[in-house]
Structure formats: C-alpha cells, structure tokens
C-alpha cells in the first residue's frame, strides 16, 4: 500500500469533523489528520508546521476566513501553494465550483450524506492506485 497520507481538514462544523476523522480511521488508523475551524486557523497551522500535509480538505462556508478567501491566500504565494486542496462542502452551485477551481482547487466534493459514501470517496482520493 502507498505511504500513509497526512491531511489538514479545514471545517468549522464539529459534527462534520468527527464524521471525517471517523471515516479516515475506518480506512487506516495511521492517517494523520489535523483540524482547523476556519481558513485563518488553517493558514496559521500551515505557517507553524515544519511538514506540510499531503492534502487539504476545505469547507467553503466558515466564519473568520471562508474557503474562497483561504484559497486566494494560499494559492497566491504561500509555502503550501502546491499542496492539493479538495473542496469538501455542502455548496454545489456551478459558480462556486468554478470559482474554487479557478483559484486552484484540485477537486470539488459535495459532502455525502452516508458514512459509507464518505469512506469510499476518501479511500479513492487517498489511495487511487487501489481502486
């Protein structure tokens, strides 16, 4: 199997954080996941971290600094500008998806309603060679 990925989840919803980390643990307990409650805290964690995550999962609708603001700042000139950012949101309108992709989002995933769907999505993203 591939190396175990490290993840930064930026999402203000505590329930979504718990479901996300539970899905990761279901896939592989060794997956490291840090959590930031908004874009600003996400940038602070990236600034303070010696090692960058392999992937960033980013919600769009958050207080303080939303996902679009985070993308603008990180993709412009941040040390994490090359880390793939996957939008992980309940937003699904075409305009928002296009804006996120234009700002450098790697992919856009609408939060699934079922835990099993989330596990399948995350497994496919984290370990694409094993699909």
What domains lie within the chain, and their CATH numbers? 8-58+82-130 (3.40.50.2300)
User: What tens digit of pLDDT does each residue of 58-95 get?
Assistant: 998 889 999 999 999 998 878 888 999 999 988 777 88
pLDDT tier, 25 (very low <50, low <70, confident <90, very high otherwise): very high
pLDDT tier, 131 (very low <50, low <70, confident <90, very high otherwise): very low
**Token digits of residue 61:** 């609708």
Higher-pLDDT residue of 55, 3: 55
In this prediction, residue 76 carries a pLDDT of 85
pLDDT tier, 1 (very low <50, low <70, confident <90, very high otherwise): very low
Q: pTM for this structure?
A: 0.90
Lowest mean pLDDT among 54-58, 82-86, 95-99, 124-128: 124-128
The residues, ordered by sequence, that sit 6+ positions from 119 with a Cβ below 8 Å of its Cβ are 23, 26, 27
List, as one string, the DSSP characters of the chain: -PPPPEEEEE-S-HHHHHHHHHHHHHH-TT-EEEEESSHHHHHHHHHH-SS--SEEEE-S--SSS-HHHHHHHHHHH-TTTTS-EEEEES---HHHHHHHHHTT-SEEEEPPSSHHHHHHHHHHHH-GGG-
| CA proximity to 12, closest of 68, 61, 84, 72 | 61
């Amino acid at each position: 199997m591939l190396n175990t990925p490290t993840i930064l989840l930026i999402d203000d919803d505590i329930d979504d954080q718990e479901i996300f980390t539970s899905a990761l643990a279901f896939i592989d307990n060794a997956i490291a996941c840090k959590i930031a409650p908004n874009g600003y805290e996400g940038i602070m964690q990236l600034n303070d971290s010696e090692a960058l995550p392999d992937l960033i999962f980013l919600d769009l609708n958050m207080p303080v600094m939303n996902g679009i603001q985070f993308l603008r700042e990180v993709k412009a000139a941040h040390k994490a500008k090359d880390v793939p950012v996957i939008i992980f949101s309940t937003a699904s309108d075409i305009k928002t998806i296009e804006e996120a992709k234009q700002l450098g989002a790697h992919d856009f995933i609408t939060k699934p309603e079922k835990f099993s769907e989330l596990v399948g999505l995350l497994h496919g993203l984290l370990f694409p060679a094993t699909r």
